[in-house]
Amino acid sequence: MLLPFAASALLALLATAEARPSSTTPSRGALVVRQHNTQHGEYSSVSAAVAALGNSSNEPATIFAHRGVYNEQVYITYPGPLTLIGETKHPRTYKSNLVTVTFNLSKNEAGQDDNSGTLRVHKDDFTMYNINVANTYGHPVSQSQALALSAYGKRQGYYGSSFTGYQDTVLTDTGSQYFGSCAVTGAVDFVFGETAATYFRGSDIFSVGAGCITAGKPKDGGMGIYVFDECTVQQGVAATNDLTGQVYLGRPWGDYAQSVYLNSNLSSIINPAGWSSWSSSTPNTDHVVYGEYQNTGSGASTSKRASFSTVLTTKQSQEYGIAEVLGSDWSDWVDEAYY
């Protein structure tokens, strides 16, 4: 006979497992996307499944995508809670993902950053598992802004997914986002936005060219922050030359930019200064919060860091915990299996 505590713990574990969607087969009621040999009632693209949901229901919905490379731009505004799942046998990592959504569109062609996004999520309560998202526009001579993800909304969770671009790869502009066990690849300002609270945990950040990782532009004294907790920062395989000392942790798009790296591994690609001003004519450094705490790796030394950055004390670092950044209700919507 189980002791009461053991029994309750087991029930909680089973309930969590039951609540987490399968990564190999669609759950009952899920809309199914299958690129090839599409069967009756299924959809051949993610966009088609999203369109089938309409915009009049607030009911929870799930889309399950079978393996494939989907060449499309996906725009999501469905009002109800939505979960998008990519088929995989290894859901705790992006490294074995079988589903890729890819598109090639620049800001210059689209008219603005958001419109260039391969995946545009304009909604609250969105969850995505094990999907690779890429914008393959790359790096022309100029105007290389091209988003993989454009996120506007509260309580968005991304798990075991990867996002690949060059400049402006991931835009989190409003609301709150959590990235667990994800990868982000880019070169210039490739994690950026204005008023969103965004938390990366156990994720890999890959630089493929000289530049800055974050670029924040929060309103005067308002929210707008990026926290990287137990992440790695390293050179990506697509880099065409050695990036040692050529990458900065962030630069301020606006005066109140906030980026913090906690307990992360910073490789030799990080410049000894760590952080950059926006430009020589517009530094934007007066009110920034650029913090580091107990990072490791050959790029983690703070002895030559920029004067406008801060080495956090233990007490100060606690101000950037997940509850402080995402709110006290974070455990209601973040999948703790990825924390």
Q: Is the dihedral of CA 178, 179, 184, 187 positive or negative?
A: positive
Question: What is residue 149's DSSP assignment?
Answer: E
**Rounded distance between C-alpha atoms, residue 27 and residue 260, angstroms:** 38
Among residues 189, 204, 229, 335, which one is catalytic?
189
Among 229, 120, 101, CA closest to 171: 120
- The reply to whether 125 belongs to the active site is no
Contacts of 283 (CB under 8 A, 6+ apart): 252, 277
Contacts of 89 (CB under 8 A, 6+ apart): 23, 24, 96
Token couple for 327: 């709110």
Is residue 229 within 8 A of residue 201, CB to CB? The reply is: yes
Which residues are paired to 79 by β-bridges?
A: none
Which run of H or of E encompasses 6?
helix 4-19
Is residue 36 within 8 A of residue 57, CB to CB? The reply is: no
Give me the count of residues in the chain.
339
Contacts of 220 (CB under 8 A, 6+ apart): 255, 256
Burial of 203 (0-12, 13-18, 19+ CB in 10 A): buried
Contacts of 249 (CB under 8 A, 6+ apart): 212, 213, 214, 233, 259, 261, 266, 270, 274, 275, 290, 292
Among 123, 213, 124, CA closest to 165: 213
Hey, which residues are catalytic here? 189
